Amino acid sequence: MRSVRPLQEVSSDLALLIDTILQYEPWDRLLVGKALHVYRAWAEYAIHEEVKIETLFPYEPFLSDRY
Amino acid sequence: MSHFSRIDINYSNLAEIFNSNVGRFFANSGTIWTAADVFSEIAEGASLPKTTLQTLSQIVTSGVVQESYHLYLSSSLAIDAFSSISQLAITLAEADVEKLLDPLTPLNQKLLEVMVFLADTEISARTFNFWQSFAEASVDVGESHEGDFWLQQVLPKLLEKSAWRDDLDLEELSAYRMDVVEVFEAICEVLESEKLNSAVTDWLESASLKQDSETKVVVFVLMKESLMEDS
């Protein structure tokens, strides 16, 4: 039976991988484009699961008065 | 409570990486259009952090929308690319439609200029929701009709887009005309009759000066009818 890795680990690994991709200059445009699509999928998944916005972006104040 | 908040995943890293690189994605010609697509879709579904929204607003008001349209017109850019960056601008404007006039900051003013510009392009119809909401929201701002200036700017552009032309697809034009009606209604409810008449008459006059004889005939009939109603 295959073991399933905890989601937290996968999420952290993905963050690490994408951070590494973005550090290489000049960018591999195709790879960065794919990374952006991963981000979209991740955000869609989180939105679908109704994760609270404060959980998604805990480091930012939210209710924006306009700049 | 969602499954994810229960097990307390650290979401922040992934979001933080992308949000802290927003400027870089848009400064790179190889990633700008994908980034526009992705951030536009995410912004539609969820609130983005304030700093990210600010960066995105500064990007779409930097002239990139207008520039990409001119590149599209000269066949140097695909319509999809222009459409992506424009959709991002529309999403940002719609998200803050009630705050754009209150106060009218330089950034808000630029965003409204972009929206007026887009009303005059191939994706004009995508701005309808925004202009309808803007007209409705402008009623609640002060007593000085601060939104009027913008509605007077966009009205002739929507009229122009609604006008019949030989080179237009009849089905597309009919759909445009059907959908634009609600925007016209919203604008008519806000603009005083004097301003409304002035904007429409100005447009009719400019249309009558065009070379297209068929347009002239239609315009003269409209103007004659309008004059008869006034008398």
For B131-199, give the DSSP string. HHHHHHHHTTSTTTTTTHHHHHHHHHHHHHHHS--TTS-HHHHHHHHHHHHHHHHHHHHHS-HHHHHHH
Domain range for B3 is 1-95
| Interface contact flag, B17 A47, Cβ < 8 Å | no
Query: Do the Cβ atoms of B123 and B115 come closer than 8 Å?
Result: no
Confidence of residue A9 (pLDDT cuts 50, 70, 90): low
Q: Looking at the structure, do residues B159 and B85 belong to the same domain, yes or no?
A: no
Average pLDDT, chain B: 85
The reply to whether B6 touches chain A by the CB within 8 Å rule is no
- Residue position matching structure tokens 């399933």: A4
For residue B82, tell me if it sits in a domain.
yes
pTM of the model as a whole:
0.82
State the burial class of residue B34 (Cβ atoms within 10 Å of its Cβ: 0-12, 13-18, 19+). Answer: buried
- Is B118 within a domain? no
The sign of the torsion formed by the CA atoms of B168, B173, B174, B177 equals negative
* Residue B102 resides in a domain: no
The answer as to whether A35 is a domain residue is yes
**B50 vs A11, A52, A61: nearest CB:** A61
> At a CB cut-off of 8 Å and minimum separation 6, what does B67 contact?
none
Check residue A65 and give its pLDDT.
40
Give A12's pLDDT tier (boundaries 50, 70, 90): confident
Q: Are residues B152 and B76 in the same domain?
A: no
Chain B: give the shortest CA distance to residue A21, in Å. Answer: 11
pLDDT at B47 over 80: no
Mean of the pLDDT values across residues B65-79?
Answer: 97
B40 in contact with A, Cβ within 8 Å: no
Residues 75-104 (B) with a CB less than 8 A from some CB of A: 96, 99-100
Give yes or no: residues B149 and B77 share one domain.
no
| ipTM value for the complex | 0.75
Collapsing DSSP to helix, strand or coil, B118 comes out as helix
Tens-place pLDDT, residues A50-65: 665 555 555 444 434 4
Last residue of a domain, one of B71, B95, B119: B95
Do the domain assignments include residue B105?
no
Q: What is the mean pLDDT of residues B33-57?
A: 89
B223, pLDDT greater than 70: no
B152 and B227 part of one domain: yes
Total tally of structural domains belonging to chain B:
2
The alpha carbon of B29 is separated from its chain's Cα centroid by a whole number of angstroms, namely: 24
pLDDT surpassing 50 at residue B148: yes
Element (H, E) at B25: helix B22-27
Q: Is residue A63 part of a domain?
A: no
Chain A, nearest residue to B104 by Cα: A66
Residue range(s) defining the domain that contains residue A30: 7-56
| Contacts with B106 from chain A: Cβ below 8 Å | none
How many angstroms separate the CA atoms of A15 and A13, rounded?
5
Residue A62, in any domain of the structure:
no
* Number of domains chain A contains: 1
Task: Tell whether A39 is covered by a domain.
Answer: yes
How would you class B11 by CB atoms within 10 Å of its CB: exposed for 0-12, middle for 13-18, buried for 19 or more?
buried
The answer to whether residue B229 sits within a structural domain is yes
Q: Are A54 and A62 in contact (CB under 8 A)?
A: yes
- Say which DSSP state B64 is in: I
**Greater pLDDT, B128 or B167:** B128
Q: Does any domain span residue A46?
A: yes
The residue of chain A nearest to residue B108, with distances taken between CA atoms, is A66
Cβ separation B11–A18 shorter than 8 A: no
B91 and B135 co-located in one domain:
no
Whether the pLDDT of residue B127 is over 60: the answer is yes
